[in-house]
Structure 1
Amino acid sequence: MNTIALGGSRIGYEVRSYFRQGDSVFFTFLFPVVMLTIFSTAFSSQTFGPPGEEISAAAFYLPGMLAAGLLLSGLQNMSIDIANEKSDGTLKRLGGTPLPVMSYFIGKIGQVFVTGILQALLLLAVASIVFGVALPTEPSKWLTFVWVFVLGVTTSALLGIALSGLPRSGKSATAVIIPITLVLQFISGVYLAFSMLPEWLQNVASVFPLKWMAQGMREVFLPASFESMEQGESWNLAGVAIVCAIWLVVGLIVTRLTFRWIRKDT
């Protein structure tokens, strides 16, 4: 119970620290909102979908931006943040305190949940209020949104912790991690319609969780007629759950095997 209480107290600290870092706020919290605004404005004269069921550019890009937000808030932010803490000695100092590693993780993952929820609410507000996107009214849609969000943000956060050991230093963390997240966004149906990609690239993207998180979000926010544009012509929510769960376990295993308060090579 003390471990959980310490972790809960660190959530507030981690959230405050997050919003004090301007680069993190822009590149992880505001970036999807900025991209949604750019795409919605640039393609405002176009519609997407079959005749009679056309939707605006804002409605079309909203699901992908929500999924990208999970990846950025979890994987990108977490891996860069922890890499910097390793590099500047923060983790070494924490290792000399009674703080349990689990409390540290609770604080980090809690911060991702808080910022992820705020980011999703901001995206939905901008899409609805500014661009007039009609949000779902069916409770089943919002139930799907909740479990895709929770599974996606948890998976992304754990993968972020696992990848935090990849950069050799805090200075190189941004250069190492951001290209990974950018490539995943371009091949996973965030900026380009997934059906536009060649089959081999669709198969590559299907290995990674972002494609499935975006697909789950599209099931929530896009009309049923868009289902035929998916790989296999199905929303395949079971696949969303399975692939994300597999990557969640991978993240847990890699974190358990590799995480240290200090780098072994320091």
Structure 2
Amino acid sequence: MLFNLKKFIGNLMMPLPALLLLMGLALLLLWFTRWQKSGKVILSLSWLLLLLLSLQPVSDRLLRPLESGYVTYRGSAQIDYIVVLGGGYTFNPDWAPSSNLLGNSLPRVTEGVRLYLSHPGSKMVFTGARGAKTLSNAATAALVAESLGVPRNDIIILDRPLDTEEEAAQVAELVGQKPFILVTSANHLPRAMVFFEAQGLHPIPAPANQMAISSPLNFWDRIMPSSMFLGHSERAVYETLGSLWQRLKSKPEEY
């Protein structure tokens, strides 16, 4: 219950629902009260913020600092475990396996498979609990890895954790003090590393799903608002809020 409440409140604080709520408030003021000037100001500012957060130069400027801390892992040292953290998913057995991984999940799994292929003898570890009337997050990601050629006996499923903190605790029971590769989205990796190192673990960071674009773009891609770039802004807000919550929960000496 507490986990669901945390997710609900967190989602309300994302740019799109938060700005839509503000716009709704503005419309109520304009239609049903005498607070016309306040309604106009709130509506105008909400619209402007939605526009700015949907533009590539703004959204990727917000996201890039979160993604710049770690580079793509290309090491070849012997590693026993490659841990791939869970993300968005659903489960429909009639779909292609990869279609069940939503948003940030598929890039995490494909990067994990790439690293598995370059580290013979390693095991892939997938984390993530069960959603509403579906397979677990971990099991769904494992099915995708199998469809890409990873043998089932090289896959370990940890399907109890609800969030990153719980993922770190369960991985600790499995790997002990052995170094392991930790695969998650580049923008999520800084926060994930804090959780895993707090468990006394030795994760090797392997960012996936880099989103902030620094390569050349067509000028129309830079000046036209896009739902994709609004999603980049959302990730920046989500991880910033997550890091603030992580710091509030942690002891001062941990930082």
Coarse TM-score class (shorter-chain normalised): under 0.3
Q: Whose helix proportion is higher, 1 or 2?
A: 1
Higher RCO, 1 vs 2 (CA within 8 Å, ≥6 residues apart): 1
Structure with more of its chain in strand, by fraction: 2
Task: Name the TM-score, length of structure 1 as normaliser.
Answer: 0.23
TM-score when normalising by structure 2 = 0.24
